[in-house]
Structure 1
Amino acid sequence: MFKNKKLFKMALVTSMAALMLAACGGGEKEDSKDVLAQIKDQKKIVFGVKHDTRLFGLKNPSTGKVEGFDIDLSKALAEEMFGSDVKPEYKEVTSKTRVGLLNNGKVDAVVATMTINEERKKEVDFTDVYFDAGQSLLVKKGSKIQGLDDLKKGTKVLAVKGSTSAVNIREKAPETEVLEYENYAEAFTALKSGKGDALTTDDAILYGMAEEDPSYELVGGTFTEEPYGIAVKKGNKELVDELNKALKSLKDSGKYDEIKSKWIKEK
């Protein structure tokens, strides 16, 4: 009797192991499938975009829709690449979450004011540059802070977690205290409530904040180069190539400039 029970348990364990291996094998097959092929099969492409960045990706509270340069550009890219066969969808990302959401398959491509740099290239693949920005400072009009040289010991600069801006400002102004927030909305609210002397990020994003509240202004010019690229999961060369082709086509046709001029006013 005991022997039969033992054999039964062994057979049960073996069967379960076989089922688990089969399930894992199926998962690996799906994971190994390139993102471009999945997009075409599912007839949708999911873009990771910001919801808190005026001019680039901001959720309109009255309509519930996300609006901005990154949104319009990604729509145009999807149409250029797939016509009406693939529907663009959008998922919120932040500077802190965008790489993780991309690599776990929650989004197919990130179009979210993401600066191309060597460190990030180790984690994701980038397209060609789609927008050139530069880091600057936003302050209350009349502030004594008028540039990097004014960021001395005792001053506080606000930045966003996961952004290159926080890293850069620590290098450029090592004496200042850097306070990091989850997103741009929180950082700007903190600046307006007096928790810092300046807010730093890319100038294009800061212009959006100054447009929202004209009592704030950009100072000191730009002190870095911030080329934005579209990020995809590493190893998806075909998707990168298709995005680059579509981006070039939009620039050649004038559609890119049309989208840019709608959102970004040259200062």
Structure 2
Amino acid sequence: MRNLPALLLALMLALVPGAVRAGEALQRVETSGTLRIGLTGDYKPFSALGADGAFTGLDVDLGRALAASLGVRPVFVRTSWPTLGADLEAGRFDIAMGGVSVTEARAKVGLFSAPMMSDGKTPIALCANAARFQTLQQIDRKGVRLVVNPGGTNEAFARAHIHAATITVHPDNTTIFQEIVDGRADLMITDAIETRLQAKLHPELCAIHPDAPFDHAEKAYFMPKDAEMKAKVDAWLAGMRASGALKAAIVKWVE
């Protein structure tokens, strides 16, 4: 039975969560002429969803550039942090962009591109309170009110490190920083890049030691387990980095 090895490989792939045949995801993109890009639309500077239903942000620009490199049209699909992995497995999009952190749980259902940047969790609070929340020990005290958005790495970090302070889940990441401004929460712990931007958008808020975050994590693009598609994305990303286009896009949206 000369086809036995191929049959065994197919059976093994069927048992691997998120697995696809080699080149299958990339072929779908090329055949359809579209790259469906999953974005949450609630995480500036990576992606924001406007009242008109249009996405803007760093990874919107980069998503268009990636689609152009593949010779296809970008189509932006809304997803959410709690459903990101399930939406990928269900085939709702071809690649997730928009500030996705590399995690073990996500790696079980998909592949990550080479990192597009490194970042880490750090606090943001009213500038008047910045001195109070320099360390996790200062934050994790009774009476401190920490707000988090649901289902992503911010909530996971808070649950892992905060036990005495009160954690409140705010469902809308687009309005979560207003909770601090209005005094309903004391602080949030999120990615340093987000704290820098939100401090500019809300002058009352200060990013607390964003250059020295509590941890370090990589942000990358999240796609089906198709090594051929990953190779294409990695090659595009390497070219963007080498040409300076990646840095220019980051400067446009962050600095």
1:51 equivalent in alignment to 2:38: no
Task: Choose 102-111 or 250-259, whichever is displaced more.
Answer: 250-259
1:157 and 1:205 map into 2 onto residues whose CA distance is 16
**Please, which runs of 5 or more residues in structure 2 have no aligned partner?**
1-19
What corresponds to 2:233 in structure 1? 243
Aligned match for 1:194, one of 177, 183, 187:
183
8 Å CA contact 1:131, 1:227 repeated in 2: yes
What corresponds to 1:97 in structure 2? 83
What corresponds to 1:230 in structure 2? 221
1:170 equivalent in alignment to 2:170: no
2:238 and 2:214 map into 1 onto residues whose CA distance is 28
> What's the offset of the Cα at 1:220?
4.2
> What's the offset of the Cα at 1:68?
1.0
What is the Cα-based RMSD across aligned positions, in Å? 1.9
* Cα deviations by residue, 1:138-177 (Å, 9 ceiling, x for unpaired): 1112016332232112212111111112222233333222
1:187 and 1:248 map into 2 onto residues whose CA distance is 34
With over 3 angstroms needed to count, the CA separation of the structure-2 counterparts of 1:96 and 1:183, relative to structure 1, is farther
Amino acid at match of 2:64: K
Between Structure 1 and Structure 2, how many residues are aligned? 230
TM-score (structure 1 length as normaliser): 0.80
What corresponds to 1:74 in structure 2? 63
8 Å CA contact 2:181, 2:204 repeated in 1: no
> What's the offset of the Cα at 1:64?
4.3
Give secondary structure in 2 for the equivalent of 1:58.
strand
Higher gyration radius (CA)? 1
Aligned match for 1:158, one of 141, 147, 152:
147
8 Å CA contact 2:149, 2:170 repeated in 1: yes
2:144 and 2:202 map into 1 onto residues whose CA distance is 22
Task: Choose 253-262 or 169-178, whichever is displaced more.
Answer: 169-178
Give secondary structure in 1 for the equivalent of 2:48.
strand
TM-score (structure 2 length as normaliser): 0.83
Give secondary structure in 1 for the equivalent of 2:174.
helix
Amino acid at match of 1:88: P
With over 3 angstroms needed to count, the CA separation of the structure-2 counterparts of 1:91 and 1:115, relative to structure 1, is same
1:137 and 1:111 map into 2 onto residues whose CA distance is 24
What corresponds to 1:139 in structure 2? 125
Give secondary structure in 2 for the equivalent of 1:115.
coil
> What's the offset of the Cα at 1:223?
0.5
> What's the offset of the Cα at 1:46?
0.5
Shift >4 Å, 4+ stretches: none
**Please, which runs of 5 or more residues in structure 1 have no aligned partner?**
1-30
